[in-house]
Structure 1
Amino acid sequence: MSRRATSRPISARELWRDVHLYLGLFVGALLVILGLTGSILVFWIEIDEWLNPELLTVTVPRQENPTQSTVAYQPVDEIVRAAKQAAAPDSKITTVYGARNSTAVYAIYASQTSGDWQRIYVDPYRAQVTGVRSYDADEWVPNYLMDAIFKLHFSLLFGVNGETLVAICALLLLVSLISGLIVWWPTRGQWSKALTIKRGAGPVRFNLDLHKTLSIYFFPILGAVLLSGVSMNLNEAFVWVTQQFSPATRQPQYTLISVPAPGAPSIGVEHVLAIATEHYPEGELNGIYLPGNATGVYVVTQRNVPKLSSYWSERQIAIDQYSGEILDVRAPDRRHSAGETFLDWQWPLHSGQAFDWPGRIVIFLCGLACPVIYITGVIRWLQKRRAKTTANKRQSSLIINKQARGTSR
């Protein structure tokens, strides 16, 4: 007999079970897409370089001076100048990404007034362009594999609206994850049974055990990844909410303002980099974000800064585009609040880069676990539905037989 037929009130555990069931069925399919694409993106740079070595890798020139430990790069201004020559007309350089290792290229981003943009790759030793990737503002699917996977992961190929949709679905998946934890929680202290897969179990029991054990062991990782996904797709709202709990949390650096000086031009990329390295000489160049308008600021980011952090060693330096004054510095040793620490951890946790290779492998495995969790959940639902249908048929048959015997009498 069904729950409604008995008019029995629904318990809190049953309510959470229904929440977990319906969110899992209707939103869980997205978890498969996000999980599989996320696993690929953990190693997207390595995969892209492997697929396109002529575009993304360079040969290190022979060392002419034996006293030098490394071959020097060309000045950043020369690298940017080479990129400008290869850029489409009416282009503006927006970002300069440094080489990730000695055989990698610089990546220069250039945008156009139409909304189209390009990613221009430059050999840093020779200041020569190795190739250009072009993107249309209204393109549905990018022409390049890793970019298409990125867009599918972050927006389901639906642009800005897709980013919002993914963020909302990630929040719903978080609710599904929490409701699953509530339903899973052992009520009689049978922790061993709840945390293991029974040996020699039949297909029904094995499917259930696999679903619950994978879900519970990946619970903290999957929860952190989903939350960090929300932080990236709904960044302004995410920062605002964080500030409500931690008022000392600063606004993002792109909200800072440069003060225009009459007749003073904006200083160049090389000058900005020199200012940053003069004050903070340690670390490798990760990227330089150029001002978006007349009052915008430069932001220089450094990675692998020695003795800064054992988990995520990055520094961000905001610089006035006219005076060269350092306006703000963000780093693990310069945080003003717990909220800033929380925000700074979102991307490193999402990508797994916070813990180097072990972290990336864990995120990779977490992404692979997502389709298994979803499929075993659907199988479990179908098993219970089939069992309920069988039970109802058996009960109906008993009632019919009983009525038939009563009529025969």
Structure 2
Amino acid sequence: MFDHAIDEWLNSDILLTNVVAGSSPAPISEVMSAAKTALPDTSYVSSLRKPRHENTVFMAYVEMQKQSPYYGKRMEVLINPYTAEVTAVREWGHYFTSFIYLLHFTLLLDEYGALFLGFLAILILLNVIIGVYLGWPKSKAAWDWLLARKHRKTPLIGKLRRWHILTGLISLPVFVILILTGISMIFHDQTEAIFDRPQPPKLVVDNDPAQSIAIDSWLPSVKTHWPDAEWMRIGQPTTASPAATITIRKANDPRKTGGSSMLWLHPQTNQVLAEQNYDKLSVRQKTAFWLFPLHSGEALHMPGRLLVFICGLLTTILTIAGGWLWYKRKFRPKRRLT
């Protein structure tokens, strides 16, 4: 939920810049060039991500050639947006916030860990449904007890049971959304098929060998096509995908840090070859772009992130109270009949 902010706090020396008044951003072409030359044997820049705010850096993810020792690894190049100087090169998954992220959805066991977590999440969802059925108050007296309307002395085990049920019912809507969205991201191929998520177009681009690639003209062309949109990421043309790929965020976009709209430009003429307009997608297709923002809380800005954070704390309370209740029930001394 707060990984980027925490990363900037922990690594301010490489992620934050001292902006001098009146400083102008470096041309995007210089930033892309710095990203591509930061490591030897770089094949191309797969994603150049816009700085989160004026005091932070560009993040460029580069694909390496097969002879590179970094081939197959997710290498991240950090670039000062005003000087186009590389401030650091690091491998995603090897610094703190990315390590926690990787642990969260793979348990550090690659796709096998992700599948394990996916099936575990399905079991947790079934367990939640059973728990709601067992804990839902079925009479006025049960509601009075749950909400402590009648002030009477309750033993600790009774208070734990009350807190367990009340916490579960309060956090239920958010908890179910988090489980379902987590499952959808682990089984992403099936999810994309269910929601008919748009796929990148297969484009044929005729480049003129005598003409250079106009990187600095890409973003003005985007602004001309969609004046009210904000660019978030740039992908270089490749043999497999010969167009320049620009990821766009619009005002109503649930993906605040990524964007759900896209433009594919001719890298030399800046002509728009294809587009993915979030506003024109079906409700079913739009749902696919809500899954991660709902899971992280970013769809609802800071209130959404805080809501997910609080739900995480309530889950901890549920776990402790539920574990104690199980222990007391499992190992409580049996009453002797006289």
TM-score, with structure 1 as normaliser: 0.72
**Cα deviation, residue 220, structure 1:** 0.8
Q: Identify the residue that residue 210 of structure 1 maps to in structure 2.
A: 163
**Cα deviation, residue 299, structure 1:** 3.7
Q: Identify the residue that residue 335 of structure 1 maps to in structure 2.
A: 281
Change (3 A) 1:270 1:172: farther
**Cα deviation, residue 267, structure 1:** 5.1
Amino acid at match of 1:89: D
Q: Identify the residue that residue 101 of structure 2 maps to in structure 1.
A: 150
* Alpha-carbon distance between aligned partners in 2 of 1:170 and 1:267, rounded to the nearest angstrom: 47
DSSP 3-state at the match of 2:326: helix
* Alpha-carbon distance between aligned partners in 2 of 1:153 and 1:268, rounded to the nearest angstrom: 40
Of the three residues 34, 39, 57, the one matched with 1:82 is 34
Q: Where do residues 11-160 of structure 1 align in structure 2 (5 Å cutoff)?
A: 42-63=1-22, 71-112=23-64, 113=66, 114-134=71-91, 142-160=93-111
- Which structure carries more relative contact order (alpha carbon 8 Å, separation 6+)? 1
**Cα deviation, residue 107, structure 1:** 0.2
* Alpha-carbon distance between aligned partners in 1 of 2:46 and 2:20, rounded to the nearest angstrom: 29
* Alpha-carbon distance between aligned partners in 2 of 1:123 and 1:186, rounded to the nearest angstrom: 58
Runs of 5+ in structure 1 lacking a partner?
A: 1-41, 64-70, 136-141, 243-248, 399-409
Asked whether the 8 Å contact 2:75–2:90 carries over to 1, the reply is yes
**Superimposed CA distance per residue, residues 212-251 of structure 1 (whole angstroms, 9 cap, x where no aligned partner):** 1111111111111111112222211112233xxxxxx4x3
The yes-or-no answer on 1:358 pairing with 2:303 is: yes
* Alpha-carbon distance between aligned partners in 1 of 2:26 and 2:233, rounded to the nearest angstrom: 16
Q: Identify the residue that residue 330 of structure 2 maps to in structure 1.
A: 385
Asked whether the 8 Å contact 1:259–1:320 carries over to 2, the reply is no
**Cα deviation, residue 157, structure 1:** 0.7
Asked whether the 8 Å contact 2:42–2:62 carries over to 1, the reply is no
Asked whether the 8 Å contact 1:211–1:373 carries over to 2, the reply is yes
DSSP 3-state at the match of 1:48: helix
**Superimposed CA distance per residue, residues 132-157 of structure 1 (whole angstroms, 9 cap, x where no aligned partner):** 1135xxxxxx4311111011011111
- Of 73-82 and 311-320, the range deviating more from structure 2: 311-320
* Alpha-carbon distance between aligned partners in 2 of 1:57 and 1:160, rounded to the nearest angstrom: 33
Change (3 A) 1:195 1:355: farther
* Alpha-carbon distance between aligned partners in 1 of 2:261 and 2:86, rounded to the nearest angstrom: 27
* Alpha-carbon distance between aligned partners in 2 of 1:188 and 1:364, rounded to the nearest angstrom: 32
Q: Identify the residue that residue 129 of structure 2 maps to in structure 1.
A: 178
* Alpha-carbon distance between aligned partners in 2 of 1:365 and 1:179, rounded to the nearest angstrom: 23
* Alpha-carbon distance between aligned partners in 2 of 1:206 and 1:296, rounded to the nearest angstrom: 63
Amino acid at match of 1:109: Y
* Alpha-carbon distance between aligned partners in 2 of 1:291 and 1:218, rounded to the nearest angstrom: 45
**Cα deviation, residue 271, structure 1:** 4.2
Q: Identify the residue that residue 282 of structure 1 maps to in structure 2.
A: 228
* Alpha-carbon distance between aligned partners in 1 of 2:44 and 2:255, rounded to the nearest angstrom: 31
Count of aligned positions: 326
* Alpha-carbon distance between aligned partners in 2 of 1:383 and 1:274, rounded to the nearest angstrom: 66
* Alpha-carbon distance between aligned partners in 1 of 2:177 and 2:314, rounded to the nearest angstrom: 15
**Cα deviation, residue 341, structure 1:** 2.7
Asked whether the 8 Å contact 2:44–2:236 carries over to 1, the reply is no
**Superimposed CA distance per residue, residues 278-328 of structure 1 (whole angstroms, 9 cap, x where no aligned partner):** 21122433212445642465442233x34x36x666441131556743423
| Greater helix content | 1
Change (3 A) 1:327 1:191: farther
**Superimposed CA distance per residue, residues 143-187 of structure 1 (whole angstroms, 9 cap, x where no aligned partner):** 311111011011111112212222222222111112211112222
* Alpha-carbon distance between aligned partners in 1 of 2:33 and 2:72, rounded to the nearest angstrom: 21
DSSP 3-state at the match of 1:116: coil
DSSP 3-state at the match of 1:107: strand
**Superimposed CA distance per residue, residues 17-54 of structure 1 (whole angstroms, 9 cap, x where no aligned partner):** xxxxxxxxxxxxxxxxxxxxxxxxx1111111111111
The yes-or-no answer on 1:188 pairing with 2:139 is: yes
Amino acid at match of 2:316: P
Report which of the two structures shows the higher radius of gyration computed on alpha carbons. 1
DSSP 3-state at the match of 1:390: coil
Q: Identify the residue that residue 16 of structure 1 maps to in structure 2.
A: none
Change (3 A) 1:175 1:79: same
DSSP 3-state at the match of 1:345: helix
DSSP 3-state at the match of 2:56: coil
* Alpha-carbon distance between aligned partners in 1 of 2:214 and 2:105, rounded to the nearest angstrom: 33
* Alpha-carbon distance between aligned partners in 2 of 1:343 and 1:190, rounded to the nearest angstrom: 43
C-alpha RMSD over aligned residues: 2.6
TM-score, with structure 2 as normaliser: 0.86
* Alpha-carbon distance between aligned partners in 1 of 2:157 and 2:33, rounded to the nearest angstrom: 64
